[in-house]
A and B are shown apart, each in its own frame.
Chain A
Amino acid sequence: ETGVTQSPTHLIKTRGQQVTLRCSSQSGHNTVSWYQQALGQGPQFIFQYYREEENGRGNFPPRFSGLQFPNYSSELNVNALELDDSALYLCASSWTGGRTYEQYFGPGTRLTVT
């Protein structure tokens, strides 16, 4: 069984730039959720993708957008980067349709905005 993978591991961007982060879900999972984790905080829900559509969104502005592909992998795009966007971005995969709803996280992408 392949776990959740994310790329890149680290990224440094300048304020105002755009960034794309990638996530491959765990085999057998059909749902991907993205979280932002600031230093010293718990993860904050950004949005979730199921059947290639957004299936719920947290309190994040529209410059945070995403995609899910037919193979269930996903991308997180952030436009017009701000300094406060510096954080660990976590992707979690899960199975929608069963009786349990455990989310399994990848190692994260550390984004630094300067």
Chain B
Amino acid sequence: GQQLNQSPQSMFIQEGEDVSMNCTSSSIFNTWLWYKQDPGEGPVLLIALYKAGELTSNGRLTAQFGITRKDSFLNISASIPSDVGIYFCAGGNYGGSQGNLIFGKGTKLSVKP
């Protein structure tokens, strides 16, 4: 099935570092969502974006809806150990009859050894 291009695939963080990840698509979306998934659990919604160019924050997390509507970015500032997990971007087009989300493969955040 279709999946968005998400990068990096994995990264190691040290407490206090800033983290950046992005997601690109060949298709245009009118909605971008970012989720975090911990092992054995379902994805948890972090941020929702609905307008091209929009910048939205949720605590230490900031996400942007790309101007081209084909990409989105997520930044985490001053990372802490509980930020470890897998982050997924998801794009969708709402307002029509279908409401499916298309997900990336995820960016896995781990703690530096």
Contacts and interface: CB of A to CB of B under 8 A. Distances in A.
Interface of A: 4, 31, 33, 35, 40-45, 48, 50, 55-56, 58-59, 90, 92, 94, 96, 99-108
Contacts, number: 75
A103 B42 contact: no
B48 A56 contact: no
Contacts of B88: 42-43
B66 interface: no
Interface of B: 1, 3-4, 6, 31, 33, 35, 40-45, 48, 50, 88, 90, 92, 94, 97-106
B43 A43 contact: yes
B58 to A, nearest CB: 12
Contacts of A101: 31, 92, 94, 99
A45 B101 CA distance: 7
Contact of A58 (B43, B97, B100): B100
B99 A44 contact: no
Contacts of B42: 4, 90, 105-108
B106 A108 contact: no
Contacts of B94: 101
B1 A44 contact: yes
10 contacts: A4-B42, A43-B43, A44-B103, A55-B99, A56-B99, A59-B1, A90-B42, A99-B50, A100-B48, A105-B35
Contact of B98 (A41, A42, A44, A55): A55
Contacts of A104: 45
Contact of A103 (B3, B33, B50): B33
A99 B44 CA distance: 20
A4 B41 CA distance: 12
B92 A90 contact: no
